[in-house]
Structure formats: structure tokens, C-alpha cells
Amino acid sequence: MRSYLDKLAKLNIGWNLRPLGEQDFYDLCRRFRITVVEMPLATNGFYYCVKGKHFIAVSCRLPAVKKLLVMFHEFAHFLMHSPDTNTTASFHGLGKKTRKEQEADTFALCALIPKLLIETREIGDLIDEGFPSELLTERLQIYRRLGL
């Protein structure tokens, strides 16, 4: 986890320090030359790499918070799980929760709900602001388990 945290700090975007938004996601994708495609999908989203080019596809049918979570989840696959440029794909929400899926979830949840919000805000207030309770429950587990 330490090497991932070092890699995330080098992004210099305020990951887990402030809530990241859609503009942050698109700025990161622009910086790393990732093409983003929004369309009606049968899944929430996926990351894929073909011939050295990186893509993130996200369902346009998702509510705003869920869509943002999927965007950062798929970006995490690019950042943490794509050491080469061979053809590969990672699908959000399909299959069992592997280590890679848990890492991508952790990245995404900390991007949307940074440590400071967990430490200084009431859960009820965050729910009132539109964060689904199941996401907050998962985020609290990450905070308790990893201190992030």
C-alpha cells in the first residue's frame, strides 16, 4: 500500500485531502492521455487498453455520485494496475471483489470522501449532501482499517 500512497501523492491533486470532482477526473485523464467515453452501458463502467492507448467507459445512466465513483474507480485501474500497454480490460461491478477491485474502490472512495470529511463531519450531514449511506459505510471501514 505504501508504494500506491507514494504514487498517489505524486498526482498532486489533493487525493484524500479534499473532495475530488468531475473536473479533477477529466484533468487527470487529459494529463495521462486517457480517452473517456460516456454512453449507455450494460455495466457501470470499465477501463481498457488497446495498442498502448488507454480508455475509460462510463455509463451515462448513473446518478451523479455513483458516476463519479465509477470514474475514479476506473482511473485507479489505469494508475495502479496497468504496468504495460498490452490489451487489457477491467469492468466495474462484475465478478468477485479481488484485491485490485478493493484497491480501486479505496482510491475512488477516498477521492470522493476524503479523510478530513470523515474526521470532521457527521454521517447524517454527508447523507443529506447526497452521499449514499452504503458508500459512507464502506468509506468508514477503509478509514478504520487503513487509517486513510
55 pLDDT above the threshold of 80: yes
3 pLDDT above the threshold of 90: no
89 pLDDT above the threshold of 80: no
6-34 pLDDT, tens per residue?
Answer: 888 889 999 999 999 999 999 999 999 99
pLDDT at 87: 47
In the chain, the N- to C-terminal Cα span, in Å, equals 11
143 pLDDT above the threshold of 80: yes
Q: What percent of the chain has pLDDT over 70?
A: 89
Range of the domain at 79: 2-146
Report, as an integer, the average pLDDT of 119-146: 94
- 10 Å Cβ neighbour count for 138? 17
Residues sharing a CB contact under 8 Å with residue 58, sequence separation 6 or more, in sequence order: 36, 37, 38, 41, 44, 45, 67, 70, 71, 74
How many DSSP H helices and E strands does the chain contain? Answer: 7, 4
Instruction: Tell which wins on pLDDT, 90 or 111.
Output: 111
Instruction: Quickly list DSSP for 44-80.
Output: SEEEEEETTEEEEEEETTS-HHHHHHHHHHHHHHHHH
Lowest mean pLDDT among 25-34, 75-84, 126-135: 75-84
Burial-class residue 20 by CB neighbours within 10 Å (0-12, 13-18, 19+).
buried
Instruction: Tell which wins on pLDDT, 47 or 2.
Output: 47
Report, as an integer, the average pLDDT of 91-98: 61
69 pLDDT above the threshold of 70: yes
pTM, 2 dp: 0.88
Number of domains in the chain: 1
46 pLDDT above the threshold of 70: yes
